[in-house]
Amino acid sequence: MLEQGPYPYFLKKWIKSDIGHLSNVQAGLSILEHSSPRLNRVILAHLSSTNNTPELALETFKGIVKARKNFSAKVDISLREKPTQLFKV
């Protein structure tokens, strides 16, 4: 979506760089690699309204973390249009 989107080249290049944003795949891989088995909740947040969708982020994330057989954390999405529910931590 980023490649086809309206952003100028320099901004696309920055977003894709190591100091830009995490992609859906990078977010999933980081949780898969670094999370503790005790992790009980993941909130996908700061999703681009131009270059992503909540459905795509969730589908990609769940597809990646299913590789960990004991991954049982609940996954939620924080939307721009409404407050995220409260969570007990």
Domain range summary for the chain, segments of one domain joined by +: 23-77
First to last CA, the chain: 34
Task: Name the residue type at position 31.
Answer: I
Res. 33: pLDDT tops 80: yes
Position 4 confidence tier, pLDDT thresholds 50, 70, 90: confident
Q: Please state, rounded to an integer, the average pLDDT across all residues of the chain.
A: 87
- pLDDT of 12 reads 78
How would you class 8 by CB atoms within 10 Å of its CB: exposed for 0-12, middle for 13-18, buried for 19 or more?
exposed
- pLDDT of 18 reads 77
Global confidence as pTM: 0.78
Position 13 confidence tier, pLDDT thresholds 50, 70, 90: confident
- pLDDT of 56 reads 94
